[in-house]
A and B are shown apart, each in its own frame.
Chain A
């Protein structure tokens, strides 16, 4: 079983819609949870992190954490074509584990 699971997608949403990205993790001892965005051919860049249950909002992005369900999600409101990228979920326990990423395409 992988430490971090994500649907690989691709996920397609129309411009202006809400994109919902999901991630589950196996280690209940995980402390912090991160969302990275990776454009094709580029390195990952951190866009959100969360370590408490509940929601955390930053602009158009909202991270949601449910430790009981071992579930992390990222919502992107008012999706833009520039949001088209692969989104990596990362979880910290004794190490830093990344999911395989979900490819998002925002259609103009």
Chain B
């Protein structure tokens, strides 16, 4: 089915381990985003990508690495997980960031989220 899927849905890992969260979209959207959601902070942008091989930092990029070798995939890696990275992670995509930001394109699609717990 078309859409944006994240995996895994739940993950428990230990401090110091490397973890990769996967995001796959079937719409061929140019833009993809990673957010984390925490109580009291709302949704905060970690990284985003305008196209394959183009990525940029968001508000809270420290401790995270992204790559985008193919348009449809945008994995997020925690190189050495810390307890402060316990959160719910959402991947999102949009056809055009300009159109999205100006309200001309309302299709910011979110994945179902990954709940990550770092012990």
- B→A interface (CB under 8 Å): 33, 35, 40-45, 58-59, 90, 100-103, 106-108, 110-113
Contacts and interface: CB of A to CB of B under 8 A. Distances in A.
Nearest to A2: B42
Contacts of B113: 42-43
A34 B40 CA distance: 19
B41 A31 contact: no
**How would you classify the secondary structure of chain A's contact residues: helix, strand, loop or mixed?**
strand
Given A49-B106, A98-B42, 10 more contacts: A31-B101, A31-B103, A34-B108, A43-B112, A45-B110, A49-B103, A88-B43, A95-B45, A95-B58, A96-B101
Interface of A: 4, 31-34, 42-46, 49-51, 88, 90, 92, 95-96, 98-101
Top 8 A-B pairs, shortest CB-CB distance: A32-B103, A92-B101, A43-B110, A98-B43, A100-B42, A51-B103, A98-B42, A49-B103
